[in-house]
Amino acid sequence: MLVGYARVSSAGQSLDFQLEALATAGCDKVFQEKKSGTSAEGRDALADALDFVRDGDTLMVTRLDRLARSSVDLHNIIERLSSKGVKFRCLQQAGIDTDSGMGKLVLAILGAVAAFETDIRKERQREGIEKAKAKGVYKGRKPSVEGEEVRKLHADGVGPSDIAKRLGIGRASVYRALKGESAAA
């Protein structure tokens, strides 16, 4: 059986191209989701597809980055498929499959390159944030709640847990706001 897996990163993106390509390739069943793919965790349709496939099946994706963004995730997914006797094939990237030694080698190399690109992207992002901080442009995210609200409720005798519930924030945020009060005093 040919089983497809299609994924886009956000609800605003369309799965149509991937679904059409997987149907054209002859997939009998396709699992699909709109979820970020930085990790295999939390991707329910992927988990369902991996549970569904059986010995002799082939799992297909249109591009490798639809399946995994890190070499660790890619390796774990391919290992899981192999242990079940399931083959893997990537439609748009010829030669990426688990049918041959060469396909397995290409798969491993591309997984390593994808991980390298992710590391470079994160490093550039960190550098950009550091430069912005140095210029005084980047100050982090805005507080989820105004400290004044927390301090007022606390002064009125409301406990930290109740403050957190009323404002819809975590208790740690309450304690941080109260700590800021003592630092300001």
Beta bridge partners of 4: 30, 60
Residue 112 is encoded by which pair of tokens? Answer: 């390593």
Active site residue 9: yes
Q: Please, where are the H alpha helices in 25-145?
A: 44-52, 64-67, 71-83, 101-135
**8 A C-beta contact, residue 149 and residue 167:** yes
Query: Which of these is catalytic: 9, 10, 14, 144?
Result: 9
Distance (Å, rounded) from C-alpha 158 to C-alpha 151?
A: 10
Element spanning 171, H or E = helix 171-184
Residue of 92, 88, 69 whose CA lies nearest to 80 = 88
Please identify every residue annotated as catalytic. Answer: 9
